[in-house]
Amino acid sequence: MDIIYLSDLKIETVIGIYGWERQIKQTIVLDLAMATDIRQAAITDRIEDTLNYKAVAKRLIEFVSHSDFQLIETLAESVAEVVMTEFSISWIRVKLNKPGAIRGAHDVGVIIERGKKF
């Protein structure tokens, strides 16, 4: 299995359960690890033969910035579904951080792994 990763993608969105959180945009940070087969791209040296991480990032920026979930768990699950469905990957690990959510902690978040059922 080959992994293409995207690290430290910062996106502004509405996220949270408290009233004040519903009124502002906060920064979330995404780290993704995505399973794909890069052998053909390594042979051809063509972007069309691999997972285009720029396209993934652009899609997630568009999706997340327009979302308004309450829970980071729901957002992480939705991110995994978007990437797996739209980019035809078989497995993904999503780490979603919400910096500053807890006083005294650098950040909090969730890590999920999802794979297609065969």
Q: What does the pLDDT read at residue 49?
A: 95
Domains in the chain with CATH codes = 2-115 (3.30.1130.10)
Radius of gyration for the alpha carbons in the chain, expressed in angstroms and rounded: 15
Q: What is the pTM of this model?
A: 0.94
Tokens encoding 15: 């996220």
Catalytic residue numbers? 98
What interhelical angle do 72-86 and 53-65 show, nearest 10? Answer: 140
Distance CA(89)–CA(66), nearest Å, equals 23
Per residue in 10-60, pLDDT (tens digit) is: 999 999 999 999 999 999 999 999 999 999 999 999 999 999 999 999 999
- Quick one: the chain helix, strand, coil %, rounded to 5? 35, 35, 30
Tokens encoding 100: 């500053």
Residue type, 112: I
Q: What does the pLDDT read at residue 100?
A: 87
CB 110 within 8 A of CB 61: no
- DSSP 8-state assignment for residue 49: G
